[in-house]
Structures are given as structure tokens and as C-alpha cells.
Amino acid sequence: MPEPKYKREDYQKAREGGILGDLTDHLSELRDRIIVSVVLLIVVFVIAFNYAPSLIDLLQQLAPEGSSFIQLKPGEVLMTSIKVAIYAALVLAMPIVLYQVAEFLKPGLKENEAKVITPILFTSPLLFWLGMGFAYFFTLPPLLGFLLGFGKDIVEARYGLEHFINLELSILSICGLSFQLPVLIITLAQLGLVKVEGLLKLWRYVVLGAFCLAAVITPTPDPMTMTIVASALIGLYFVTVGFLKMRKG
């Protein structure tokens, strides 16, 4: 019978040397931070679920005047309420969850990598919320006006609640993620992967990419909506580059 690869004495030496102790401490810290994040998400979910009808009504207000919604399958309103509550919990609890992740990872990062954590921690949730607000007030109204209004004079338009809310949540998420552009640029700059001079030289491609992304986000024949979205992305890019240039100077 083969002998075990590691004997009891080896584990005793590892424990005395602090190796197993450190690993146990890290696993214990990871468990505690996961528990904090999960409990927070559950609490926020329960609160958001109680306000789900108001949140759904807030989203329905973006539909063109005269739009009506129906329940296409049993439990559709319940499932939609759960989806909205989960989405709200993730969005609202984001800063605390990111903080837990950052604090767990920070001890194992190099100095230049640890510096990246702070701007991500503070700016990422704010930019995501800013992107959601931009989508709610500037992107969704014309987008829904076009999609829901097209062919309305030909057929009677009645919309399934779940499909409508899913569309809105998708657009809110896309805009929120698009507004993470400054976080991405600052992270790459902190890690030394990009330089300000190189970013400035790419401005033509940035403008083109912004309009292409805006065309995907707002597939409407209205050029004004696409221009507004593209301008916001371009503005975020140049403000971030300007910030990096000022910091470098």
C-alpha cells in the first residue's frame, strides 16, 4: 500500500510556518464577505419586491401614450416583479458588493494594481447609475416610441408585460455598461497598458466606434437620438483622457 505523499509532520510544519493558518484566514475572510454580500442582496431584494409595482409602473410610463399591457401567461406579473426586484437589488447593492470584493483582493495585489481598486470602487457604481439615468431619460423614450409605435395604425397594439420590462432592463444595462468606459481607460492607464498620447491619437476611431455603438443601442431612424448617445460616449472618453493628462502633468 503506497505511503501518503504528505505526512502528518509536513502539515504540522506548514501550520507552524503560518501557511495553513494564512489560508484558513483567507478562506474565513472570503466566507464572511460572501455572507455580508448575500445578506445585503437579500435585504435589498425584499425591500425592492415590496416596491415592485411602483418600479414597474415607473418603467411603464416610458411607453407611448395609449399603450396597454397584458399578462400573456399565468404568473407573468409575479415573475416580472421578481426580475425587477433582483435587478434593483443588484444595482443598489453594487457599491457594497464591490467594496467586499476589493477589500478581499487588495492584500494580494501589487502596489500599482491596488491603486486601480479605489477608482473602480467609487466610480463604477456611479457611472453605471449615470448610464441608467441617461437611458431612462434620453434613450428609452424615443426608442420605445419608434418600436411600439411602428405599425400601430395597422394592428391593435397590446404588449406582454414581461417582454416590455425585459427590453427596458436590457437597454438600462447596456447604457450602464457603456458608461464604464472611463473605468476601463483609467484601469488600463494605471496598469501602464495605455498612454495618454496614444489615447488622443485614437480619437477618430473612438468617434466612429461611439456612433456604431449608439446605432446598436438606438435602432431608430431618428438621427438625433443616436447623436445624443454617441456624444455622451465621446464626452466620457475625452473627459477621462483630460483627467489622465491633468494627473500626469
Q: What are phi and psi of 190, to 5 degrees?
A: -65, -35
Coil/strand/helix, residue 67 = coil
Q: Summarize the confidence of residues 126-133 as an average pLDDT.
A: 94
How many other CB atoms are there within 10 angstroms of residue 169's CB atom? 17
Structural domain boundaries of the chain? 11-248
- Predicted local confidence at residue 11, as pLDDT: 41
Give the list of residues 6+ apart from residue 106 with CB closer than 8 angstroms, or none. 114, 117
What are 81-120's pLDDT values in tens digits?
A: 999 999 999 999 999 998 888 888 777 777 767 777 777 7
- Predicted local confidence at residue 40, as pLDDT: 96
What are 22-43's pLDDT values in tens digits?
A: 678 778 888 999 999 999 999 9
- Predicted local confidence at residue 20, as pLDDT: 52
82 vs 134: CA distance, rounded Å: 24
